[in-house]
Amino acid sequence: MIGLLAEVPYWGQSLLRVLGGLVAVLLPAGTIVYVFLFKMMSFMQSRLGPMEAGPYGSMQLFAEVGKWLQKEDIVPDRADARIFKMAPIIVLVSTFLLVVVVPFGPDAWFTDFETGVFYALAVSSVSVLGILIAGWSSANKYSLLGGLRAAGQLIAYELPMVLAVMGVVIQAGTMNLQKIVVAQNTGSMFGIDAIGHPYVISQFFGFIIFMIAIQAELTQAPFDMPIAESELVSGYMTEYSGFRFLIFFIGEFATAGVFAMIASVLFLGGWGVPFTWFGWTSIDDVANWMNFAGPLIMFTKMMLLVFFIMWIRFSYPRLREDQLQKFAWKGLIPVALLNIMVTSILKVVF
């Protein structure tokens, strides 16, 4: 975005960036909630979902938000009020911090960190903090158990995620997300330039591990024990109501969107199309209209990935806490390590 807005004064740039960040977080979150949570889930259960608010219930989300905003902001009597109020905001802030490294086009980005992937993984772990203190400060046993479970799970799946990303980083030779996008779109598979080199093919295991880890990080079924409503009522969210619950709710789906964006950047070629289609060779050649087409391409890829996340969420029962940990430590991490090893050997050989 800096490249686009060179003439705009600094305060204007900052304002636009904040607005852009809000759009980049809230728009996917809203779309995901409507398309997948309201409609796809209902259709999978042979019903129509919300139909009353707006055509095909498209305004339902606003109705829900309005409802949540009206509700009383309840703080339990014995809770640690200040921390209790702070927790959801930490979770949402983590999402906003995450979105700033995602590139949406050749010049459409918020920040261009050299260590973009690393940064994304780092700030995504901040949300653990929010969840943990939400669970603790609610003064509720279910919340505490939920918070502890969430923290244990998020830490356990942080590791396979980092390791899965490592394969991509080795292949691309950079941690910068923009450069990873370019590397995928300028590369070639088996000598064919036309499809570029999306790492979903060469890093297939990495992709699968990454998606599983995302599923766990987002606490979606089959990894949703922290909020398991049939066991822990709602886990760390049990005591939250109104506005603060809404923040958790938005945070959940916004994070799903942002993680899917990062996955599409890492494995599906991000905002780009294979550069050979238009005869581009490097990022400098990319036409300016990609700044507008890019976000749309990105959005499509994101929706595709979220579709898979949600499809699995609506189909599977949940694992038990110890099975989840076992799966992470005994299944995903060794495979991820093996993947890194093979990738680096192949990288050196070829």
Partner 1 sequence: MIAQNIGFWIIATVMIFAALRVVTTNNVVHAALWLVVVLAGAAAQYILLAAEFVAVTQVLVYIGAVMVLFLFGTMLTRAKIGTESDLNNSYKKLGIPVALVMLVAMGVALVSSFGDEKLPQTATVVSTQEISDQIFGPYLLPFWALSFVLLAAVVGAIVLARKD
Partner 2 sequence: MAKVPGLVKGLGVTLGTLFKTTVNGSNTVQYPHEKETPPIRSRGVIALHQDNCTSCMLCSRSCPDWCIYIEAHKELAPPRREGGKPRQVNLLDRFDIDYALCMYCGICVEVCPFDALFWSPEYEYSEPNISDLLHDKTKLSEWMETVPEAPELESGADKKKK
Partner 3 sequence: MTMLGDRQQLSYIASQAADARLNLELETEGMTLNIGPQHPATHGTLRIIARLDGEQVVWAEPACGYMHRGYEKLTEVRTFPQVTTLVNRIDWLGSFANEVPFILAAEKLMGVEAPTRAQYIRTILFELSRIANVSLFLGDLGVQLGAITPVFLAFRDREYVLNLIESATGGRFHPNFDRIGGLKDDLPAGWIDETRAVMKKLRGFCDQIEDLLFGNEIFQSRTRGIGVIPRDVALQYGLSGANLRASGVDWDLRRDQNLPMVWNKTDWKVWTHPDGDSFARCWVRLQETRESTKIVDQLLGAIPSGPVMAKVPKIIKVPEGEAWVSTENPLGEMGYYVVSRGDLGPFRVKIRSASFNNISITPWLLRGVYVPDIVTILASLYFILGDIDR
Interface with partner 1 (CB under 8 A): 78-80, 83, 113-115, 118-119, 121-123, 125-126, 128-129, 132-133, 136-137, 139, 144, 147-148, 151-152, 155, 158, 175
Question: Any contact of residue 18 with partner 2 (CB under 8 A)?
Answer: no
Nearer to partner 2, 25 or 319 (CB): 319
DSSP 311-335: HHHHH-PPPPHHHHHHIIIIIIHHH
Question: Any contact of residue 321 with partner 3 (CB under 8 A)?
Answer: yes
Residue 134 sits at the vertex; the CA angle it makes with 128 and 139, to the nearest 5 degrees, is 140
Tokens representing 152 are 């244990």
Question: Any contact of residue 317 with partner 3 (CB under 8 A)?
Answer: yes
Cα–Cα distance measured from residue 130 to residue 135, given in angstroms and rounded to the nearest whole number: 9
Site for partner 3 in 2-41 (CB under 8 A): 41
Candidates 6-14, 17-25, 62-70, 139-147 — which segment interacts with partner 3 by CB under 8 A? Answer: 139-147
Cα–Cα distance measured from residue 40 to residue 309, given in angstroms and rounded to the nearest whole number: 12
Q: Which of 225, 237, 263, 302 binds partner 3 (CB under 8 A)?
A: 225
Q: Which parts of the chain fold into alpha helices (H)?
A: 10-32, 41-44, 60-70, 81-99, 116-124, 126-137, 141-172, 177-186, 199-202, 204-217, 242-267, 290-315, 321-326, 333-349
The nearest distance, CB 97 to partner 3, in angstroms, is 29
Nearer to partner 1, 118 or 311 (CB): 118
Selection from partner 2, partner 3, partner 1, none that 268 binds (CB < 5 to 8 A by kind) is none
CB 110 within 8 A of CB 100: yes
Question: Any contact of residue 314 with partner 3 (CB under 8 A)?
Answer: yes
Q: Which parts of 71-140 fold into alpha helices (H)?
A: 81-99, 116-124, 126-137
CA-wise closest residue to 60 among 71, 50, 47, 75: 50
The nearest distance, CB 44 to partner 3, in angstroms, is 6
Selection from partner 1, partner 2, partner 3, none that 233 binds (CB < 5 to 8 A by kind) is partner 3
The nearest distance, CB 97 to partner 1, in angstroms, is 9
Question: Any contact of residue 183 with partner 3 (CB under 8 A)?
Answer: no
Question: Any contact of residue 312 with partner 2 (CB under 8 A)?
Answer: yes
Cα–Cα distance measured from residue 245 to residue 88, given in angstroms and rounded to the nearest whole number: 8
- Site of interaction with partner 3 (CB under 8 A): 41, 44-47, 141-142, 145, 221-222, 224-225, 228-233, 314-323
